[in-house]
């Protein structure tokens, strides 16, 4: 156990800082021409996606960004969805297009994402923009990885020269955050399910990014005392005995479970990370708030480029 209390990497505070910085930029765009425009396409009725999209629209309203929500039926075809994307690509008032994933099985998600104009790809998933990330060129970055870098920098966590270990190799988080850390001059290791002796590799990290998608998997044996741990996990636990085990019988968490029927847990064990880390991002309230904040930043930057304000 490290001496003293660990620092909390507060994503809500950083989100509010970013929003405050965006307001004058949005005001300048409105004064010159028009508000930035973001179109969000949500296919079907996925409850988790609906909540996420509502939060995006609410943040747009708060900042003065024009938002358009498009909700095609669950049985939409690939060609029909491609037609929606083509219309948005051609709309000069739409600066950003976000197609909420996952898409229904009958829709070819790769074709949809490839169809989005790269300059309007505010999710940062288009291969063109991934290529610009690899090359270290400017362009929209995937929102959660970009938020992780903001969280570290705005909490004065040194990255250059540090050993960073990323647990998870997804295209959405693991790979892009590894590249962003590399561009910040960290020495980066990407781990996954086939990595031999994963705990030993993780213990080498000065900065440990947990993005594996398994509740409380990163326990004490994975964490070097004094490391910085960034927890990207969003896992809902629906078994009371598992909540009791993960939170060591904490009355507050058990009461929350009894009220809601579930508890949100990250990929890092919440008790072990608090005991061993020098600083860590909590779940909730760490990385999560920054994903939407970075989406807003990407949308504003796209509007600035489109209107010649940057």
pLDDT digits (tens, 9 = 90+) for 107-141: 999 999 999 999 999 999 999 999 999 999 999 99
Predicted confidence at residue 26, as pLDDT, reads 98
First to last CA, the chain: 48
Is the separation of the CB atoms in 145 and 177 below 8 Å?
A: yes
Classify residue 200: in a domain, yes or no. Answer: yes
Classify residue 78: in a domain, yes or no. Answer: yes
Classify residue 306: in a domain, yes or no. Answer: no
Compute CA distances 85 → 63, 70, 101, 221, 246, whole Å.
24, 11, 14, 47, 43
Residue 173 and residue 273 share a domain: yes
Half-sphere exposure of 28 (CA within 13 A, CB side): 14
Residue 163 and residue 280 share a domain: yes
Q: Which residues participate in catalysis according to the annotation?
A: 56, 100, 123
Is the separation of the CB atoms in 7 and 278 below 8 Å?
A: yes
Residue 157 and residue 278 share a domain: yes
Which CATH number do you get for residue 171?
3.40.50.720
With the CA atoms of 14, 155, 270 and 148 taken in that order, what torsion angle do they form, in degrees rounded to the nearest 10? 60
Classify residue 19: in a domain, yes or no. Answer: no
Confidence of residue 45 (pLDDT cuts 50, 70, 90): confident
Number of domains in the chain: 2
What is the per-residue pLDDT across 10-41, written as a single tens digit (0 to 9) for each? 999 999 999 999 999 999 999 999 999 999 99
CB atoms within 10 A of CB 212: 23
Is the separation of the CB atoms in 60 and 66 below 8 Å?
A: yes
Residue 266 and residue 164 share a domain: yes
Predicted confidence at residue 1, as pLDDT, reads 47
Residue 239 and residue 107 share a domain: no
Predicted confidence at residue 3, as pLDDT, reads 61
Residue 110 and residue 50 share a domain: yes
| Spatial separation of the C-alpha atoms in residues 61 and 79, rounded to whole Å | 31
CB atoms within 10 A of CB 196: 7
What is the per-residue pLDDT across 140-190, written as a single tens digit (0 to 9) for each? 999 999 999 999 999 999 999 999 999 999 999 999 999 999 999 999 999
| Mean pLDDT computed over 80-92 | 98
Q: Counting every residue, how long is the chain?
A: 310
Q: Quote the strand ranges of the chain, DSSP E.
A: 7-8, 37-41, 66-70, 96-99, 163-167, 187-191, 207-210, 228-231, 235-237, 263-265, 279-280
Classify residue 132: in a domain, yes or no. Answer: no
Residue 286 and residue 215 share a domain: yes
Residue 278 and residue 147 share a domain: yes
| Spatial separation of the C-alpha atoms in residues 275 and 220, rounded to whole Å | 8
Which CATH number do you get for residue 105?
3.40.50.10860
Predicted confidence at residue 232, as pLDDT, reads 97
Residue 174 and residue 228 share a domain: yes
Residue 146 and residue 235 share a domain: yes
Chain centroid to CA 77: 28
What is the per-residue pLDDT across 196-252, written as a single tens digit (0 to 9) for each? 999 999 999 999 999 999 999 999 999 999 999 999 999 999 999 999 999 999 999
Residue 149 and residue 110 share a domain: no
Compute CA distances 238 → 9, 231, 259, whole Å.
26, 20, 12
Classify residue 100: in a domain, yes or no. Answer: yes
Predicted confidence at residue 257, as pLDDT, reads 96
Burial (CB count within 10 angstroms: exposed 0-12, middle 13-18, buried 19+), residue 214: middle
Confidence of residue 2 (pLDDT cuts 50, 70, 90): low
Per DSSP, helices labelled H in 33-77 are 47-63
Compute CA distances 241 → 236, 247, 257, 268, 274, whole Å.
14, 10, 10, 18, 21
Half-sphere exposure of 115 (CA within 13 A, CB side): 21
Residue 149 and residue 101 share a domain: no
Classify residue 22: in a domain, yes or no. Answer: no
| Mean pLDDT computed over 71-85 | 97
| Spatial separation of the C-alpha atoms in residues 26 and 272, rounded to whole Å | 42
What is the per-residue pLDDT across 258-299, written as a single tens digit (0 to 9) for each? 999 999 999 999 999 999 999 999 999 999 999 999 999 999
Quote the domain boundaries for residue 222: 142-290
Classify residue 296: in a domain, yes or no. Answer: no
With the CA atoms of 21, 27, 30 and 36 taken in that order, what torsion angle do they form, in degrees rounded to the nearest 10? 20
Q: Of 118, 153, 179, which residue sits at a domain end?
A: 118
């Amino acid at each position: 156990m490290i001496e003293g209390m660990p620092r909390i990497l507060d994503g809500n505070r950083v989100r509010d800082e970013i929003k405050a910085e965006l307001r004058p930029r949005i005001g300048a765009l409105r004064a010159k021409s028009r508000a930035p425009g973001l179109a969000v396409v949500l296919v079907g009725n996925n409850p988790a996606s609906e909540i996420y999209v509502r939060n995006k629209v609410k943040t747009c309203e708060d900042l003065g960004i024009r938002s358009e929500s498009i909700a095609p039926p669950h049985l939409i075809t690939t060609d029909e969805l491609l037609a929606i994307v083509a219309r948005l690509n051609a709309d000069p008032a739409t600066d950003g297009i976000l197609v909420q994933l996952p898409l229904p099985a009958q829709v070819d998600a790769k074709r949809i994402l490839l169809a989005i104009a790269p300059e309007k790809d505010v999710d940062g998933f288009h291969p063109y923009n991934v290529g610009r990330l690899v090359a270290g060129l400017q362009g929209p970055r995937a929102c959660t990885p970009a938020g992780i870098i903001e969280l570290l920098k705005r909490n004065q966590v040194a990255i250059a020269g540090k050993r960073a270990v990323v647990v998870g190799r997804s295209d959405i988080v693991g790979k892009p955050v590894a590249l962003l850390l590399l561009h910040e001059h960290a020495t980066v290791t990407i781990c996954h399910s086939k990595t031999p002796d994963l705990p030993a590799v993780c213990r080498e990290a000065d900065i440990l990014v947990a993005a594996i998608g398994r509740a409380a998997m990163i326990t004490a044996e994975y964490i070097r005392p004094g490391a910085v741990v960034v927890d990207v996990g969003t896992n809902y636990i629906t078994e009371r005995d598992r909540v009791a085990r993960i939170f060591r019988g904490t009355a507050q968490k058990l009461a929350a479970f009894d009220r809601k029927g579930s508890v949100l847990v990250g990929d890092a064990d919440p008790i072990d990370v608090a005991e061993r880390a020098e600083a860590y991002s909590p779940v909730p309230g760490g990385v999560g708030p920054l994903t939407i904040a970075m989406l807003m930043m990407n949308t504003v930057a796209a509007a600035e480029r489109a209107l010649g304000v940057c």
